[in-house]
Every structure is written in C-alpha cells, then in structure tokens.
Amino acid sequence: MSVQEAPEWERRSENQSRLAFGLAVGELAGNDDKVVAISADTIDLFGLRGFLEASPERLIEAGIAEQSAMGIASGLATTGMRPILCGYAPFITARSLEQLRNDVAYANQRVVIGAACGGIVLGMAGGTHHAVEDLAIMRNMPNMTVVVPADARQTWHAAMATENLDGPSYIRLGGKFEEEPVTDLAGDGFRVGRADQLRTGGDVTIIACGALVAPALAAADALAGNGIGARVLNMHTIKPLDRDAVLAAAAETGAIVTAEEHRTTGGLGGAVAELLALEQPTAMRMIGMPDEFCIVGPTAKVREHYGMSQAAITEACRDLLK
C-alpha cells in the first residue's frame, strides 16, 4: 500500500464509526477463529452482511433481546471464545444492565461491546433511543474499559486494540451519518488509556471525546484567532482515564473545559472533576446534557439546543479566562 493509498476499511467505513467497528470485527475474526460476533438485531447497522456470508457459524443473531445477547456473550467468554457484541447504545446498556453487571463485569469476562448510536444521534426517535447516561453506567462497572473514539479511523484502532485487553470493554459509536475525520489514519499513537493532544496551548485546556472532538478543535482555532492558546485533548478513553494528561493540563493551563455528548454527571466531565477535586482543584466548565430527558428533534438541532457545539465550547473557555 502506498503512502497515499487508504486501506480498504477506511474507504468502506464511509467515515462512520459503526461501520468501521463492523469491519474491524471481520478483521479480528480473520485473525482469530475464536472471535464470534453477536448481533442484537444490528447486522445491517454494523455492516455485518459480509461477515455473515464469510463465517455464518460465527455470527449469532439474538434479535431485539439485549439481555439474552449479553448472556450469550458472557457464556461464550467462559469457554475461551472471544465474543464481540454489537448493539444499540441505549439498549445494550440499560436493557441488559443486570446481565452486564453480573455476568460480564462482575465475572470479568473478556467481552467486547460495540454500542452504536451513542448520545443523541437518534434524536428523532425519542427519549427511549437517546444514550446520554451510558458512559456513567459503564464507568461504574468495575473491570470495564470505556472508549469513545472521535471518528471512524480511531474506532478501527480501538477495536483492534481489544486484542490486548483481558477484561470487558465498551466502545461507544456513532449513528448513520458521516463523522468528520479528526485523527491520524495510521493510528500509530493510539493507546487505550492515553489521551491524544491534538492542539497545544497554555491558556486553557479543552478535554473532549467522541462527537465533540471536532467542535473542540474548531473552538481552539477560533480562540487562537483572538490570541488564546487552547490545548485540546482527545480523551478517547474514559476509563481508565489518562490521569497524567489531565493533571498536567490543569497545572500548565489552570483552566479546564470538558465536552461530551452525554449528561454532565458521570461521564467524561464527572471523571475529570473527580480527579481534579481530589488531586488538583482547578477552575472548570462542562459542556454536555443537563439533568433532564432530551428533547426530540434532528440531531444537529438538539446538539445546538443543549449547547454541545463549537460556539458553546468557545464561550466556556472565554468565561473561564475572564
């Protein structure tokens, strides 16, 4: 492959993390005959038709029964298989919570959970389909690794990195639309538990994950136009949190803004605030959902309504520096 030529998975993912994850499942299965995919009525959502045709004996369709899907995944893990569970974020977390807690996390099973449509990408579908508390749920599960890739590229590398994880992991993915590429295609620097610094700056730090990494970068560029140096950390791993990156940012910039498509309690903002409160109290602002059930509407409009945007991040940074 030449330097200019993108890998096939990059082209086929169409800049959608859900498809990148599905392609990575196929790649992992090709490398290890113990990999088994479990679908909770998500074969097409994850683009798994090719996997189904190539390895029908290694794809289990559980249907709209996330509790059963989670139990199947746990059971397979006990036999030495490598189950990868593909589900909708709001359902694979909330609906199967008991099995998730007891059968997977408590038993410390090596189950990879790919959760598509995280946040409010299903904005028009209503509150039942919004996943804005999933990170808080998963963060509170002992043994669980929680990853929120910033784009399809990082999703591929995060999925491939699960080969080296012993316990359960949760990878939060986007929905059925393109996500702006903001990370390195090669993924050479991706490490679970280590943040990526995408912008340098000494005045304020923006710590973002998932869909809000791109707006965070745009905010940093806007602030730079006013002579404000905003450091941007892509905190793709919520658990384990990159403590060193957060503490260094607090010490070196003295102001932190977190940005996530999730409630401001329990997710990225909560994790950062907990760490700083105990080890290095620092002025903070949090961008995210308030303590309410989300309104129904087009995703872009809903994000704008709740201030999960470049403008809101920029304003929060300026407010801290007054």
pLDDT band at 2, cuts 50/70/90? very low
Give 304-314 pLDDT, tens digit per residue: 999 999 999 99
For residue 59, list its beta bridge partners: 37
Is it the case that residue 271 has pLDDT exceeding 50?
Answer: yes
CA 122 and chain centroid, separation: 16
CATH of 8-172, one of 3.40.50.970, 1.10.10.10, 3.40.640.10, 3.40.50.2020: 3.40.50.970
| 237-239/145-147 β-pairing | antiparallel
CATH number of 196-320: 3.40.50.920
The mean pLDDT of 219-237, rounded to a whole number, is 97
In whole angstroms, give the CA distance from residue 240 to residue 243.
8
Of the chain, the percentage scoring pLDDT greater than 90 comes to: 94
The mean pLDDT of 146-155, rounded to a whole number, is 97
What residue ranges do the domains of the chain occupy? 8-172, 196-320
Is it the case that residue 3 has pLDDT exceeding 70?
Answer: no
In the β-sheet with 283-289, what is the strand arrangement from edge to edge?
A: 196-199, 230-234, 204-208, 255-263, 283-289
Residues 6+ apart with CB under 8 A from 46: 18, 19, 21, 22, 25, 39, 86, 114, 116
Give 15-28 pLDDT, tens digit per residue: 999 999 999 999 99
pLDDT band at 187, cuts 50/70/90? low
What's the confidence (pLDDT) of residue 82? 97
Give 63-93 pLDDT, tens digit per residue: 999 999 999 999 999 999 999 999 999 999 9
pLDDT band at 1, cuts 50/70/90? very low
Identify residue 15 by its one-letter amino acid code.
Answer: N
Burial class of residue 61, CB neighbours in 10 A (0-12, 13-18, 19+): middle
pLDDT band at 291, cuts 50/70/90? very high
pLDDT band at 6, cuts 50/70/90? confident
Of the chain, the percentage scoring pLDDT greater than 70 comes to: 98
Contact 42, 91 (CB under 8 A): no
Q: 196-320: same fold as 8-172?
A: yes
Is it the case that residue 219 has pLDDT exceeding 50?
Answer: yes
Structural Rg of the chain based on CA atoms = 19
Residues 6+ apart with CB under 8 A from 5: none
pTM of the model: 0.96
pLDDT band at 184, cuts 50/70/90? confident
Identify residue 254 by its one-letter amino acid code.
Answer: G
Burial class of residue 162, CB neighbours in 10 A (0-12, 13-18, 19+): buried
